A and B are shown apart, each in its own frame.
Chain A
Amino acid sequence: MNQSVPRLRFEGVTKEFPGVRALSDVTFEVAAGEIHALLGENGAGKSTLLRILSGGLRPTAGKVLVDGKELTLRKPIQARAAGIAMIHQELQQVQHLTVAQNMFLGHQLTRLGGLVVDRAEQERRAAAALARIDPSIDPAAPIRTLKVAQRQIVEIARALLDEARIIAMDEPTSSLTPSEFDRLAEIVAGLASSGVSIIYVSHKMDEVFRIGHRATIMRDGAVVGMRELAGVDQKEIVSLMVGRELSQETHRSFATDEVKLEASGLCSAVSRVRNISFRLHKGEVLGIAGLVGSGRSELLRLIAGADRRSAGTISIDGKPVAFRNPREAIAAGVGLCPEERKREGIIPLRSVTSNLGLPSLGRYTTGGLIARRQLDQAAERYLKGVNLRPFLPDRPIRLFSGGNQQKGIIARWLAANSQILLFDEPTRGIDVGAKSEIHALIERLASEGHSIIVVSSELPEVIRLSDRVLVMREGELAAELPSDGLTEQRIVAHAIPGYASQPISHS
């Protein structure tokens, strides 16, 4: 192949929606066998660009060229025929079908003139594709029995099955553990060296730097720069993305000696969480680390009254409490900012104010009617405090970015006067700029005397935010570590099952 013709070229791609220009004149190239990172905040236009590449959207102007030939992308099937595959952040798989059935979904192999699906042949070819990247996956297994990381591998194998030469991955690692990421990185590198071009969209700078060759950075629908990742530092990329320097983040502690919440011997009736004891102080930020599935989220649900307890006690301000539901926990000053905002956090059709008011409507009700003016005023005050943008409290919350939805949820608990705030993956799926805002906000809340627990899969985030870090492993506490001088390696060592357990050190 001619070296000068890139595998993929976007040329002046522009996309206009009524009233807004989502992409303006986007031009960049991806070489054969290159892992090309596409970076930018939410709303920078990455998703729009990927949708154009996959045939889901037609550009207003400009073209997409593969090996120098202009593509007509009107339907997803044309993108597939051109050797383009997409791996979405939220995997689009049918839970009750097998691995092979999912891989052949929409273009099943058939016998008897299309009457019968040839399952045996499908499984044989699926196995062949899987063998290239992960032979341990059984093509006949139901997809729901697989872990998220394995499902992702199935999606990649599916792309190989289609003989894709360009694979676009949208936030592929948002729910992977560090070791699973290592495996994915290996696979992606292997694909690239076999000549497949990868477009890699992620918010995680560390990953991008480890995995990628070059990066194109987008802001407000336009390309603002292209960098060889080998010779550039993260700060430069981030400031290109957000268009300004981010403030230096160092940990400040506001912890006091006053015990706000004490858990002792906590066991969950519905999850593997068992025998958890710890103290949370006023003004303290307590981090919880651990692998996905180690029971971190379930522990938060237990404290927030969302899951039932089978043993153990919780006391707040020295008084024992027993929550039967979140409503009772909220009354005692506990608020949960859940991991999956869309599923557990927001009421999408309702305004930010309505979402904010839900737990505290009792306080804004007089004579059975909601005191709308008081509620609006309170909402305005708390939403200004968290810097909601754009500042339109009456607008349905689903129209806001992930970061601003999260701010709305945080403001909800401030309005409900929650003194204990539980954050589950507070910055998952949130772009870099909003992320540092959320971090600053958590710090500010601690400084104002709130007691905070932060669960995060991003170890730098845990270390950066926390005064102490609890490490969970298989439903139990494996270690308690002070965050001063704490390294990711030490956390990971405690988090992995089989690591020689040592008594919890109160150093």
Chain B
Amino acid sequence: MSSLSHTDAAEGSSRRGLRTLALRDAGTLIGLVIILLVFALLAPGFISERNLLNILQQSSLNACLALGMTLVIVSGGIDLSVGPTAALSAVISGSLLLAGVPVPLAILAGLALGAVCGLINGVFVAVVGLQPFIVTLGTLSTYRALALIYTGGNPVLGIPAGYRAIFNGTLFGIPSPILIVAVVAIVAWIILKKTPLGEYLLAVGGNEEAAYIAGVPIATTKIAAYVISGFLAALTAAILIGRLGAAEPILGNLWELDAIAASAIGGASLMGGKGSIIGTLLGAIILGAMRNGLTLMNVQAFYQLLATGLIILVAMIIDRMTRGRG
């Protein structure tokens, strides 16, 4: 007796959930390879060890944000406040450094502040029950305002050399930001694939009511996603001020959009319940490689923006077509 409807057999190739996701990642990888090949032909010096490391380094900041964003999106939410969270954490951390607070302590304070910003988002979403888009739209303005008010709008200049050395150094020839983000990615992958929190995030985003009946701690799960996102925004800020030597209260403008783009290109569904860490990393590298290649080709910034927009749309169309209807 056949108890399966026809759609089942039509999707028979996707026997295992695991394999389905890996298939989607392979698609993102193919997209990246095509972009690399195109620029290898068009842009002189694009394929060189130095430039490839450069691309990774440029992508690492967005990747760091996007990893947190992916977890939030998987849980069915969105975090628009990552840029201002980074800015607030940067100016506080920078001020502490200038006041002579030891480097590890200043870094920890910045990261803790980012986590608190995320906690506030999470509480509004999960406990008060407001919509994630609106909550983080509100805190986007609020956190930015706090950073501006705290600094009077001026950058915090003169970040100490000891601090800068951490984020400008290399290990085995690889710039430290790349290594830091690689570690973050591994942890995020473990969280999503191997821990109860990952299962809970996928369940809450996939069907919140069913997850509730199945005993998933809904509020804790959602809050955890926003806390991680805020924490990673602060980590991104820590890396950035180390490289720039200054903490600007306006840093991180529009970061949220790049982070969402990387997640979506990588296969995260804004409806929740679906997303891939590997895909997000590849998505961030696609965006980074595009900008790098276009810059090498001396393409105007306006056209770079255009290319970014188009690549997002093309990625989504391909995603839609390969998944078929419904």
A interface residues with partner B (beta carbon < 8 Å): 15, 17-20, 22, 41-43, 47-48, 219-220, 242-243, 304, 306, 325-327, 329-331, 336, 338, 343-351, 354-355, 357-359, 361-362, 365, 368-370, 372, 389-390, 392, 394-396, 399-401, 403-404, 412, 416, 431, 433-434
Do B206 and A349 touch across chains, with their CB atoms under 8 A apart? yes
With A347-B206, A394-B16 in contact, is A327–B215 under 8 Å at CB?
Answer: yes
From B17, B216, B273, residue with most partner A Cβ within 10 Å: B17
Do A358 and B6 touch across chains, with their CB atoms under 8 A apart? no
Contact of A41 among B1, B202, B207 (CB under 8 A): B1
Q: How far is the CA of A357 from the CA of B200 in the complex (A)?
A: 10
Do A306 and B213 touch across chains, with their CB atoms under 8 A apart? yes
With A326-B214, A354-B17 in contact, is A43–B3 under 8 Å at CB?
Answer: yes
Do A394 and B18 touch across chains, with their CB atoms under 8 A apart? yes
Q: How far is the CA of A22 from the CA of B7 in the complex (A)?
A: 10
Q: How far is the CA of A349 from the CA of B12 in the complex (A)?
A: 15
Do A42 and B5 touch across chains, with their CB atoms under 8 A apart? yes
CB distance from A401 to the nearest CB of B (A): 4
From B211, B215, B273, residue with most partner A Cβ within 10 Å: B215
With A326-B214, A346-B207, A354-B17 in contact, is A431–B3 under 8 Å at CB?
Answer: yes
Q: Which of B188-203 contact A (CB under 8 A)?
A: 190, 194-196, 199-200, 202-203
CB nearest neighbor in A for B5: A43
A-B CB contacts (within 8 Å), total count: 143
B20: which A residues are within 8 A, CB to CB? 396
Q: How far is the CA of A355 from the CA of B3 in the complex (A)?
A: 20
With A242-B1, A369-B194, A399-B8 in contact, is A343–B210 under 8 Å at CB?
Answer: yes
CB distance from A492 to the nearest CB of B (A): 30
Q: How far is the CA of A475 from the CA of B61 in the complex (A)?
A: 57
From B207, B211, B216, residue with most partner A Cβ within 10 Å: B207
Can you list 19 A-B pairs with a CB-CB distance of less than 8 A?
A18-B10, A20-B9, A242-B1, A327-B216, A331-B215, A343-B209, A347-B211, A349-B274, A350-B202, A351-B16, A358-B211, A361-B199, A361-B200, A362-B196, A369-B194, A370-B194, A394-B16, A401-B3, A401-B4
A404: which B residues are within 8 A, CB to CB? 3
CB distance from B294 to the nearest CB of A (A): 36
Q: How far is the CA of A392 from the CA of B203 in the complex (A)?
A: 20
B18: which A residues are within 8 A, CB to CB? 394
B11 within 8 A of A: yes
Do B12 and A348 touch across chains, with their CB atoms under 8 A apart? no
Q: How far is the CA of A372 from the CA of B2 in the complex (A)?
A: 30
Q: Which of B288-319 contact A (CB under 8 A)?
A: none
CB nearest neighbor in B for A304: B213
Contact of A345 among B7, B16, B213 (CB under 8 A): B213
A351: which B residues are within 8 A, CB to CB? 16-17
Do A344 and B213 touch across chains, with their CB atoms under 8 A apart? yes
Q: How far is the CA of A7 from the CA of B18 in the complex (A)?
A: 50
Do B210 and A354 touch across chains, with their CB atoms under 8 A apart? no
With A368-B195, A431-B3 known, 20 other A-B pairs at CB within 8 A are: A17-B6, A17-B9, A19-B10, A20-B10, A42-B3, A219-B1, A326-B213, A327-B215, A336-B213, A344-B210, A349-B17, A349-B202, A350-B203, A358-B199, A359-B216, A395-B17, A396-B14, A399-B11, A400-B4, A412-B214
A431: which B residues are within 8 A, CB to CB? 3
Q: Across the A-B interface, give the 9 residue pairs with the lowest CB-CB distance, nearest first.
A: A20-B9, A359-B215, A22-B6, A347-B206, A358-B214, A330-B215, A361-B196, A327-B215, A401-B3
Do B4 and A358 touch across chains, with their CB atoms under 8 A apart? no
Do A370 and B1 touch across chains, with their CB atoms under 8 A apart? no
CB distance from B209 to the nearest CB of A (A): 5
CB distance from B174 to the nearest CB of A (A): 28
B207: which A residues are within 8 A, CB to CB? 343, 346-348
